[in-house]
């Protein structure tokens, strides 16, 4: 049995928790076992994972625990490898994940107060926990399963100090059968420990990436020397944003001493041991001085790369861990195999404008509606308005739109605005006859941390001013792009329009590979209907990881949705990753 006293105990003997973070939702299920085997071979006896509420309840009252979101299967694989499991369930996970794991439909209530004891929020958490813990309660160590601890909220001390909310979460967890020890995790800066912990109900742990002695001393003082010291997130790498000069990199040689120091005094969870991929539209963003969305790769400079390779960092960490292991570590697993499939020519290309009504039913409203108003979580909205006959529009201005807009007049590009540029005034010269205004708005990823978190509505929130007055009469097209099989490639295409490019090809063996997006503008890539994620010419990521199991022996289809009019007539599948380390 697992217990927390002045240390962690397993069957009444002290145990050293050496854990690594792996997010099952960032890895295709076919590779869960491979990544867990590699985690164990580095010397870990535990795997830790977050749980993203927005993926498990994509629409209010509709749940998904299948395929990539089958958390029970992931935990059972870990159990088969004799690993303990630490689960950090929602409501909020941060994780550089869209809206920090909170479901976007919460924002349909414009009065919503997330991460507080606001009753409408707690009612939705209650209902979700009731369903979530049906999956997890039976897997607790108290019922002969592998889950030894669960976390209450996440870094709450950096957000608020609503203790009634934290206590209510504990009450709900216990209400739905959670009886393993509970923990919290926070930084040690400023008031974070005071704000975010409930020591009488959950063990305080801390998060940091350096200065371990200093942070552990603060935790020790806070805990009054009465409980074990654990870093729940030892940041062994970092995430990368679109527009960064290069992928973020950390010096593992400096981290070796930190790890040794941590293990000599306490317990560790490596964040991340394997990062994975922000498939589809799942990346989060930060907002300090401006919006910084995260790239598709969540490689994180972790010991195990996004594509499953073991790095020098992995081998160095393994040597340190061996000092604290009573038994020899498993042999190093074999490296993953990759293949360069070569170049394929385009099969067909068609316009978004010609396919609007294939992809979405138009929704009319006098004023502009947000994504949340339209029950849409991710992707794009196309707003359409009839501007009338020939005239000069001196001032057209978007009011509170998020995050990136492409403005078209009669389907011809006029202006692109992003973040703080949105709201800049433009002018239009309308021609004789009917004139159509199209505004394509992209959700670049809801902010996952900080003071901007509560207000993450996407689309055009307040409206569009034309010569100083709000324009009425809008058609809305919801483009979540989860139905690209409906695209009609016989529809025409004109240069500089947003488009869909189709590539069909056949292969005789399945291996991991990378799609080279150099020369393309901005958009998303689909392989056999699966959304691999975003690309953007500003970099630093110019190749998307394509896991082999998403390919078919025989026929395959790649579809690229591109919004800037920057396309190519071929694609290249290469075994060379986005960067070498």
Element of type H or E holding 356: helix 356-359
Q: For the packed helices 252-265 and 212-223, what is the interaxial angle rounded to 10 degrees?
A: 30
Pairing between β-strand 412-418 and β-strand 426-429 as defined by DSSP bridges: unpaired
The phi and psi torsions of 193 (rounded to 5 degrees) equal: -65, -40
Instruction: Provide the sign of the torsion angle of the four alpha carbons 536, 53, 303, 211, taken in this order.
Output: positive
Q: pLDDT tens-digit profile of 68-84?
A: 999 999 999 999 999 99
42 neighbors 307 (Cβ within 8 angstroms): no
Which whole number is the average pLDDT over 214-236?
A: 96
Asked if pLDDT for residue 432 goes beyond 90, the answer is no
What's the pLDDT score for residue 579?
A: 87
Q: pLDDT tens-digit profile of 287-309?
A: 999 999 999 999 999 999 999 99
Q: What is the pTM of this model?
A: 0.97
Based on the residue annotation, tell me whether 257 is a catalytic residue of this protein.
Answer: no
Element of type H or E holding 166: helix 163-175
Which whole number is the average pLDDT over 364-393?
A: 97
What's the pLDDT score for residue 510?
A: 97
Helical segments of 190-345, H only: 192-196, 212-223, 252-265, 312-322
Asked if pLDDT for residue 336 goes beyond 90, the answer is no
Pairing between β-strand 392-402 and β-strand 426-429 as defined by DSSP bridges: antiparallel
263 neighbors 228 (Cβ within 8 angstroms): no
Q: pLDDT tens-digit profile of 470-513?
A: 999 999 999 999 999 999 999 999 999 999 999 999 999 999 99
Share of the chain above pLDDT 90, in %: 97
Which of the 8 DSSP states describes residue 514?
Answer: E
User: Given pLDDT bands bounded at 50, 70 and 90, which one contains residue 580?
Assistant: confident
Average pLDDT of the chain is 97
**Please, what is the Cα angle at 256 between 253 and 257, to 5 degrees?**
110
Residue 119 burial class via C-beta count within 10 angstroms: exposed 0-12, middle 13-18, buried 19 and up:
exposed
Which whole number is the average pLDDT over 346-363?
A: 98
Dist. CA 429–CA 272, nearest whole Å: 53
Cα–Cα nearest to 283, from 552, 558, 77, 535: 535
Pairing between β-strand 543-546 and β-strand 513-516 as defined by DSSP bridges: antiparallel
What's the pLDDT score for residue 335?
A: 85
Q: Which domains does the chain have, with CATH numbers?
A: 18-322 (3.20.20.80), 342-347+498-574 (2.60.120.260), 353-479 (2.60.120.260)
Which of the 8 DSSP states describes residue 524?
Answer: E
Dist. CA 147–CA 237, nearest whole Å: 26
Cα–Cα nearest to 135, from 41, 46, 64: 64
User: Given pLDDT bands bounded at 50, 70 and 90, which one contains residue 215?
Assistant: very high
Complete DSSP assignment for 405-456: EEEEETTEEEEEEEGGGTT--EEEEPPSS-EEEEEEEE----B-SSTTTT--
Which whole number is the average pLDDT over 165-172?
A: 98
Strand, helix or coil at 502? strand
Q: pLDDT tens-digit profile of 137-158?
A: 999 999 999 999 999 999 999 9
| Owner of token pair 């500003």 | 538
Based on the residue annotation, tell me whether 3 is a catalytic residue of this protein.
Answer: no
Dist. CA 66–CA 53, nearest whole Å: 14
Q: Enumerate residues 6+ apart whose C-beta is below 8 A from 189.
A: none
What's the pLDDT score for residue 326?
A: 83
Active-site pick, 153, 155, 306, 497: 155
Asked if pLDDT for residue 327 goes beyond 90, the answer is no
Which whole number is the average pLDDT over 301-320?
A: 98
Active-site pick, 98, 233, 306, 497: 233
Asked if pLDDT for residue 581 goes beyond 80, the answer is no
What's the pLDDT score for residue 11?
A: 96
Q: pLDDT tens-digit profile of 169-195?
A: 999 999 999 999 999 999 999 999 999
Asked if pLDDT for residue 450 goes beyond 90, the answer is yes
The phi and psi torsions of 152 (rounded to 5 degrees) equal: -100, 120
Pairing between β-strand 380-388 and β-strand 474-479 as defined by DSSP bridges: antiparallel
């Amino acid at each position: 049995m697992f217990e927390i006293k002045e240390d962690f105990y397993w069957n009444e003997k002290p145990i050293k928790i050496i854990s690594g973070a792996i997010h099952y939702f960032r890895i295709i299920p076919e590779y869960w076992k491979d990544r867990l085997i590699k985690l164990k071979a580095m010397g870990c006896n535990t795997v830790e994972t977050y749980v993203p509420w927005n993926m498990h309840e994509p629409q209010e009252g509709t749940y998904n625990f299948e395929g990539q979101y089958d958390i029970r299967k992931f935990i059972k694989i870990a159990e088969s490898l004799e690993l303990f499991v630490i689960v950090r369930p929602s409501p909020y996970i941060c994780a550089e994940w869209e809206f920090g794991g909170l479901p976007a439909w919460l924002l349909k209530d414009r009065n919503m107060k997330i991460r507080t004891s606001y009753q409408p929020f707690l009612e939705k958490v209650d209902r979700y926990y009731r369903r979530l813990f049906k999956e997890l309660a039976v897997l607790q160590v108290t019922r002969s399963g592998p889950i030894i601890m669960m976390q209450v909220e996440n870094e709450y001390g950096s957000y608020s100090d609503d203790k009634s909310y934290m206590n209510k979460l504990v009450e709900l967890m216990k209400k739905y059968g959670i009886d393993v020890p509970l923990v919290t995790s926070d930084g040690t800066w400023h008031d974070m420990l005071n704000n975010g912990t409930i020591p009488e109900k959950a063990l305080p742990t801390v998060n940091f990436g350096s200065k371990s002695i200093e942070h552990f001393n603060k935790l020790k003082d806070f805990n009054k020397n009465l409980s074990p010291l654990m870093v729940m997130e030892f940041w062994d790498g970092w995430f990368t944003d679109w527009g960064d000069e290069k992928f973020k990199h950390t010096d593992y040689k400096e981290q070796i001493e930190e790890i040794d120091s941590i293990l000599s005094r306490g317990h560790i969870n490596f964040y991340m041991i394997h990062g994975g991929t922000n498939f589809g539209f799942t990346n989060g963003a930060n907002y300090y001085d401006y919006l910084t969305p995260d790239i598709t790769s969540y490689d994180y400079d972790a010991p195990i790369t996004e594509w499953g390779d073991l790095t020098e960092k992995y081998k160095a960490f393994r040597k340190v861990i061996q000092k604290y292991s009573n038994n020899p570590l498993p042999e190093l697993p074999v490296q993953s195999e990759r293949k360069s499939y070569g170049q394929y020519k385009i099969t067909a290309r068609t316009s978004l404008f010609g396919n609007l009504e294939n992809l979405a039913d138009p929704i009319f409203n006098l004023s502009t509606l947000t994504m949340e108003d339209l029950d849409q979580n991710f992707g794009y909205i196309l707003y359409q308005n009839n501007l009338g006959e020939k005239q000069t529009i001196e001032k057209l201005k978007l009011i509170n739109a998020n995050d990136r807009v492409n403005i078209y007049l009669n389907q011809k590009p006029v202006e692109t605005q992003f973040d703080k540029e949105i709201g800049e005034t433009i002018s239009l010269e309308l021609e004789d006859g009917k004139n159509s205004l199209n505004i394509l708005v992209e959700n670049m990823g809801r902010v996952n941390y900080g003071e901007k978190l509560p207000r993450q509505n996407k689309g055009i929130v307040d409206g569009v001013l034309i010569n100083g007055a709000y324009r009425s009469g809008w058609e809305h097209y919801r483009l979540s792009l989860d139905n690209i099989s409906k695209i009609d490639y016989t529809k025409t295409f004109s240069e500089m329009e947003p488009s869909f490019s189709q590539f069909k090809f056949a292969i005789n063996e399945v291996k991991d590979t990378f799609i080279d997006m150099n020369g393309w503008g901005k958009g998303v890539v689909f392989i056999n209907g699966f959304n691999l994620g975003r690309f953007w010419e500003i970099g630093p990521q110019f190749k998307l990881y394509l896991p082999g199991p998403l390919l078919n022996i025989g026929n395959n289809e790649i579809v690229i949705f591109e919004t800037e009019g920057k396309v190519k007539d071929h694609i290249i599948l290469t075994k060379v990753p986005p960067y070498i380390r």
